[in-house]
Chain A
Amino acid sequence: MRVLLKIKRFNPERDRAPYWAEYEVEVEPVDRVLDALEYVKWHLDGTLAFRRSCAHGICGSDAMLINGRNRLACKVLIKDLGSPITVEPMRGFPVIKDLVVDMEGFFAKYRAIKPYLINDELPPETERRQSPEERARFDDTTKCILCGACTTSCPSFWANGEYIGPAAIVNAHRFIFDSRDRGAAERLAILNTRLGVWRCRTIFNCVEACPRGIDVTRAIAEVKRALLFSGT
């Protein structure tokens, strides 16, 4: 099946401004958009740059804007999109080249919420105990692969790039609600600011975009409620 692929390209070494390039690619309906991109790279234009690694939605390399929505190129099939297919880099991060964006700012925000278990108590010789219910409490947010699809789909983030963004909040949630963690207060304090959770306007683009099916807005709401009321 032939599909028209429109890619927003930009190579700072060559181009003054981004432009749209069009490619006719030969793919199977059950192929992924990633296959189409690789078709271009391998058969039509080797200069095309994009990130990818696992090709099955686990490593989080290839989040991009496909037909107007953020998705992983390796997790959306051609048959679900038809033709033409438009592909752009994620919004809100500086473009390094073509579909490759600079994620440093994104990871800086991730680091800001102290994404590691905080607990200075001496652990037992075997495992710390945690009931299945306590474990289930934060299961959803452990799935995050830090692909950036949520943060770059968020209008609040586009408007104000200093907003810490849903991905960082999701990862804070993962620890705040872990019964073994003792750092909830620190993290909540970091999120309780003008650029923290309160910038979220419950727009839900993040939930639609998350390739891991995380209910991001719910996680954010839980963090907000944790700030408002003790104990919930």
Chain B
Amino acid sequence: MYRGREGMWSWILHRVTGLGILLFLAIHIVDIYLLGWPDLFNKLLFFYRHPVFRVAEVFLAAAALYHALNGIRILLVDFWVEGTRFHRQIFWAQMVLFLLIWIPASLWMLSPVVFGR
């Protein structure tokens, strides 16, 4: 394994999260399409309410959040002249921000599953 640093890991994560969200988006389009069949749509919603999906949902949020924050870092590297010098610092700042948002949000999102609301 090549011992890359922040730049390489952030890229791998960006790619994985991007593809993950795309996969979800594709599924999501199909399920929304089923709005044309209201009963079927409502019936299938059990799927989204299943605890497994609730956990997956938290990861979906993580993926989107990470991808978005890292996207900002990429934009800074691309368009801010000093971006390449500070990309590592930006990465760590972004990860802190990520945790600050994601941990409370996921606790909140999971609370109905764990405690019932």
Contact = CB atoms under 8 A, between A and B. Distances in A.
A202 B1 contact: no
29 contacts: A67-B3, A68-B2, A68-B3, A69-B3, A153-B2, A153-B4, A155-B2, A155-B4, A155-B11, A202-B11, A202-B74, A204-B4, A204-B6, A204-B84, A205-B2, A205-B5, A207-B7, A207-B84, A208-B5, A215-B85, A217-B7, A217-B77, A217-B84, A221-B78, A221-B83, A221-B84, A224-B78, A225-B78, A225-B79
Interface in B69-101: 74, 77-79, 83-85, 87
Interface of A: 65, 67-69, 91, 153, 155, 201-205, 207-208, 215, 217-218, 221, 224-225
A153 B87 CA distance: 18
Contacts of A204: 4-8, 84, 87
Interface residues of B, number: 17
A200 B4 CA distance: 15
A208 B7 contact: yes
A221 to B, nearest CB: 6
A91 B1 CA distance: 11
A153 B1 CA distance: 11
Q: Which of A201, A202, A217 has the most CB of B within 10 A?
A: A202
Contacts of A155: 2, 4, 8, 11
B4 A205 contact: yes
Contacts of A153: 2, 4
B2 A91 contact: yes
Contacts of B2: 65, 68-69, 91, 153, 155, 205
Contacts of A224: 78
